[in-house]
Amino acid sequence: MPAEYSYHEKLDFLNFRILWHTNYLPLMNMIWEQFLSPKNRLVGSVTDTFNFYVRFVEEDDEEIPGNTALNRYYDCQQGILRLTYLNGAITVEVDYQIRQVRAMIMKRALNYQWAIGNWVLTIPLSELMKLYGLYLMHSACLVSADQGVLFAGKSGIGKTTLTLGLLSMGWQAVSDDEVFLTSNPDLVAYSGPEKAKISWSSWRRFQYYLGQQSRFNSKKLVNLDDYFPGQILDSHSISAICFIEQSDRTVILRLQPIESFRRMLSVGFLTSEPQLTRKNSDFLYNISQQVPAYLLGVGLDVKALHQKLTEIVLH
Amino acid sequence: MRYRQSNSVDWKKFEQESVLLDLSSGYYFRLNAVGTYIWSLLDGKHNLAEIVEEVVKRFEVSQRQAKKDISGFIQYLLAENLIEKG
């Protein structure tokens, strides 16, 4: 290991071990405290180890023009995927063959620390996970009557609102945002390294669900475990998938497999090495054929939502 | 002139309709029943006249209209690098 990476940390995730190396301790602490579950998880014996080298570069005065996550592009050549964010302030290389991730973060990128964990840890990890048949999906995963339901949709569509609402109705949750899916042979969802959590702003918005007496501690992010003890799960099998759309009332419509597949392409993380994208597409196609899919318009009435989901989706 | 599907396209068929996924860009395209049938004929073995003939046999469309529409469709697929000549 190069001498410049002075700080190290280990994360056990599913059957994998992530060794994280960086030259900048505050960066490591930031990622570890804000984005990772406090409990590392190892499901079985370790099948592989991934090295993440994250280099912080201090010399950098440039401002970042325009919006953030949109300034992103990728290319894949000779088995190495290159991801670039913030006009080059963050670059990430995923080397599939040696299972290694190399990231460079410039000082100006620290203003966007809310997204850094996703860009340098979750997304590269999701690329390596594809090698083992585990696929990341932008989706909440909630459980009622021992049936798991994916609630898929892009950021801002209402996944956290729906998660908090249904948790308050006694549902359980695997994740409020992203899950790793695999066929075992049934479809199973695992929570990602970014475990179900809420920010201070979310906490303020959703105090209704969390209870008027709830308190937000000094951390920037809090695991939902703190508010719903015993209701947060590590994984669950999936028996239905709902694609969320904003609506003024609760509506549930059954979708044809082609519509389910098309919508999954939007919430899967497909920009990748082409052969892995093909496998990812095969995986989503099988889900579209085997798992009932619904279009879900989410209104404000959480009791009506719970009732309709129970009648139509959980049967 | 014959055309064939690009190797960098993943084709998923759903009954009569289908979805094309461009593996290099991640963009996807939905094809209706006629588009799906034409796509299945872009195998490097059928030329434009043969494709038109097959489509006219199967769907209610005039030869003239079919030729115009299929030519436009093929130009679109070429522009998106979803098919190749030859």
Q: B13-52 pLDDT, tens per residue?
A: 999 999 999 998 888 999 999 999 999 999 999 999 999 9
Q: What is the pLDDT of residue A2?
A: 64
Residues A228, A297, single domain; the answer is yes
Instruction: Determine, yes or no, domain membership for A121.
Output: yes
Residue contact B19–A261, C-beta within 8 A = yes
Average pLDDT over residues A191-217: 68
Residues A13, A139, single domain; the answer is no
Share of chain A above pLDDT 90, in %: 45
**What is the separation, in whole angstroms, between the first and last Cα of chain B?**
7
Structural domain tally of chain A? 2
Banded pLDDT at B79 (limits 50, 70, 90): very high
- The three-state secondary structure class of A93 is strand
pLDDT at residue A153 above 60?
yes
Residues A202, A98, single domain; the answer is no
Residue contact A265–B10, C-beta within 8 A = no
Residues A36, A124, single domain; the answer is yes
Average pLDDT over residues A23-34: 84
Chain B residues with beta carbon closer than 8 angstroms to that of A265: 19, 21, 28
Instruction: Determine, yes or no, domain membership for A2.
Output: no
Report for A84-93, A207-216, A219-228, B74-83: range of highest mean pLDDT = B74-83
Q: How far apart are CA A65 and CA A59, in angstroms?
A: 18
What does the block give as tokens for A185? 């042979």
Q: What is the pLDDT of residue B20?
A: 97
Question: Where is the domain boundary, A100, A130, A160?
Answer: A130
**Do A149 and A239 contact (CB within 8 A), yes or no?**
yes
Banded pLDDT at A296 (limits 50, 70, 90): very high
Instruction: Determine, yes or no, domain membership for A1.
Output: no
Q: What is the separation of C-alpha A217 from the centre of its chain, rounded to a whole number of angstroms? A: 23
Residue contact A261–B14, C-beta within 8 A = yes
| Angle value at C-alpha A176, between A192 and A114, nearest 5 degrees | 70
Question: Where is the domain boundary, A103, A130, A157?
Answer: A130
pTM greater than 0.95? no
pLDDT at residue A3 above 80?
no
Residue contact A277–B12, C-beta within 8 A = no
Residue contact B8–A271, C-beta within 8 A = no
* Cβ–Cβ contact B13 with A under 8 A: no
pLDDT at residue B72 above 50?
yes
List the domain range (segments joined by +) for residue A28: 7-130
Q: What is the pLDDT of residue A76?
A: 80
Residues A107, A167, single domain; the answer is no
- Is the four-CA dihedral A122, A258, A241, A284 of positive or negative sign? negative
Report for A8-12, A92-96, A116-120: range of highest mean pLDDT = A92-96
| Angle value at C-alpha A99, between A94 and A102, nearest 5 degrees | 40
Burial class (CB in 10 A: 0-12, 13-18, 19+), B84: middle
Residues A123, A180, single domain; the answer is no
Residues A178, A40, single domain; the answer is no
Kindly provide the ipTM of the predicted complex, given to two decimals.
0.92
pLDDT at residue A38 above 90?
no
What does the block give as tokens for A43? 């499901």
Q: What is the pLDDT of residue A36?
A: 63
Instruction: Determine, yes or no, domain membership for A31.
Output: yes
Residue contact A258–B14, C-beta within 8 A = yes
Banded pLDDT at A306 (limits 50, 70, 90): very high
Q: What is the pLDDT of residue B62?
A: 96
Distance from CA of B74 to the nearest CA of A (A): 22
Q: What is the pLDDT of residue A172?
A: 96
Question: Where is the domain boundary, A75, A103, A130?
Answer: A130
Residues A80, A188, single domain; the answer is no
pLDDT at residue A191 above 90?
no
Quickly tell me which residue has 């569509």 as its tokens.
Answer: A157
- The three-state secondary structure class of A244 is strand
Mean pLDDT of chain A: 85
Residue A47: CB atoms within 10 Å: 11
Please, which residues 288-307 of chain A have a Cβ atom closer than 8 Å to chain B?
Answer: 288
* Cβ–Cβ contact A278 with B under 8 A: yes
Quickly tell me which residue has 């990430």 as its tokens.
Answer: A92
pLDDT at residue A116 above 70?
yes
Q: What is the pLDDT of residue A30?
A: 82
* Cβ–Cβ contact B29 with A under 8 A: no
Distance from CA of B28 to the nearest CA of A (A): 8
Residues A145, A249, single domain; the answer is yes
- For A283, which residue in chain B has the nearest alpha carbon? B12
Q: What is the pLDDT of residue A61?
A: 60
Burial class (CB in 10 A: 0-12, 13-18, 19+), A125: buried
Q: What is the pLDDT of residue A277?
A: 92
Q: What is the pLDDT of residue A271?
A: 75
Instruction: Determine, yes or no, domain membership for A238.
Output: yes
Instruction: Determine, yes or no, domain membership for A76.
Output: yes
Residue contact B10–A278, C-beta within 8 A = yes
Q: pLDDT tens across A206-242, in order? A: 777 666 556 666 566 667 777 888 999 989 999 999 9
**Domains, chain B, with CATH or none:** 2-85 (3.90.930.60)
- Is the four-CA dihedral A191, A159, A119, A110 of positive or negative sign? negative
**Do B36 and B14 contact (CB within 8 A), yes or no?**
no
Please, which residues 220-259 of chain A have a Cβ atom closer than 8 Å to chain B?
Answer: 256-258
Helices (H) and strands (E) in chain A, counts: 9, 17
Residues A231, A197, single domain; the answer is yes
Residues A233, A292, single domain; the answer is yes
pLDDT at residue A266 above 80?
yes
Chain B residues with beta carbon closer than 8 angstroms to that of A282: 10
Q: What is the pLDDT of residue A70?
A: 46
Average pLDDT over residues A8-21: 88
Residues A297, A151, single domain; the answer is yes
